[in-house]
Amino acid sequence: MTAPTILPLSIERLFYAVAGRALLESVSVEIAAGSRTVILGPNGAGKSLCLRLAQGLIAPTAGCVVWKGPGAAQAKMRQAMVFQRPVLLRRSAAANVSYALAVRGVPRADRPSRVEEALARAGLAGLGDRPARTMSGGEQQKLALARAWALKPEVLFLDEPTASLDPAAVRAVEAMIQAIHEGGTKIVMTTHDLGQAKRLADEVLFLHNGRLVERAPADRFFEHPSTLQAAAFLRGEILA
């Protein structure tokens, strides 16, 4: 039996300030199941902050984040997050995945097969015994994705997951993200890479200076942006 969904995720009048300086202002958006949502914008736009607030890692100064699906009570345990710089425990690759499964209450007997499956899907089969922190940057990010994948989350948050990877690793990570999405997981990710956004986005949230400037289906956003800032960003101009 399928568990009731935790989506949609409603972000309401989100405001976040540090030392009186607003970093995110009045962001309101409802994120529904299905399509891949990409939060796009230049550096310093507030993309990562918005993602962290949506995931619940930090509390907003004002406004709220509400999971509105019938399974909302389980929201914390039905989502996962992968960071720009993978945070791996000082353990083997397999133990990293197994740890996450233990936290989510997966019975001990089921963990080895889930670990093996996740590592294989990430192209890391046979590397389970390797100390995670001795792996290459690309392998570490794939492992972080494998760990998130193993949890079978309903929503996966990705914060610039390929920002510091070489092109081959970027291709591999993007293929994994696509596969995770095809498996039924809602993808919400940030990027400042236009090419990546074009490859992966179904829907774009364009942020600039801490404000949600435009929200549109990806095709429409890239072909006919409705705001001057988005058009300038797409032309490669440096936004003030």
Partner 1 sequence: MNEFGDAFHTALVMIVSANPDLIEIVGLSLRVSLSAVVIAALLGMPLGAALAVFAFPGRRAVVVAINALMGLPPVVVGLTVYLMLSRGGPLGVLGLLFTPGAMIVAQVVLVLPIVAALTRQTVEDLWLEYREQLVSLGVTPRRAVRTMLWDGRITLLTAFLAGFGRASAEVGAVIIVGGNIDHLTRVMTTAIALETSKGDLALALALGLVLLAVSFAVNAAAQILRDMVVRAQG
Give the footprint of partner 1 on this chain (CB under 8 A). Answer: 52, 55, 57, 76-77, 79-81, 83, 87, 89-92, 99-100, 103-104, 131-134, 151, 157
Nearer to partner 1, 134 or 226 (CB): 134
Comparing CB distances to partner 1, the nearer of 4 and 131 is 131
* 35 in Cβ contact with 60 (< 8 Å): no
**How many C-beta neighbours within 10 Å does residue 55 have?**
19
> How near is the Cβ of 56 to partner 1 at its closest, in Å?
8
Shortest distance (Å) from residue 79 CB to partner 1 = 8
Three-class DSSP category at 186: strand
- Closest separation in Å from C-beta 132 to partner 1: 7
Distance CA 224, CA 205 (A): 14
| Residue among 61, 66, 27, 19 nearest 47 (CA) | 27
Task: Look at residue 129 and give its three-state secondary structure.
Answer: coil
Quickly tell me which residue has 């032309």 as its tokens.
Answer: 235
Cis peptide before 8 (omega within 30 of 0): yes
**Phi–psi pair at 113, nearest 5 degrees:** -70, -40
Q: Choose between 16 and 157: whose C-beta lies nearer to partner 1.
A: 157
CB of 188 to partner 1, least distance (A): 13
Q: Min. distance of Cβ 3 from partner 1 in angstroms?
A: 15
Taking the least distance from each CB to partner 1, the nearer of 11 and 151 is 151
| Number of neighbours of residue 142 by Cβ within 10 angstroms | 27
Q: How far is the CB of 226 from partner 1 (least distance, A)?
A: 33
User: What distance in Å separates the CA atoms of residue 157 and residue 171, rounded to the nearest whole number?
Assistant: 18
Q: How far is the CB of 215 from partner 1 (least distance, A)?
A: 25
Tracing tokens 């993808």 back to the chain, one arrives at 187
Query: Which of residues 34 and 131 has its CB atom nearest to partner 1 in the complex?
Result: 131
Nearer to partner 1, 139 or 214 (CB): 139
CA 238 to chain centroid: 25
Beta bridge partners of 217: 203
Q: Which is nearer to partner 1, 81 or 122 (CB)?
A: 81
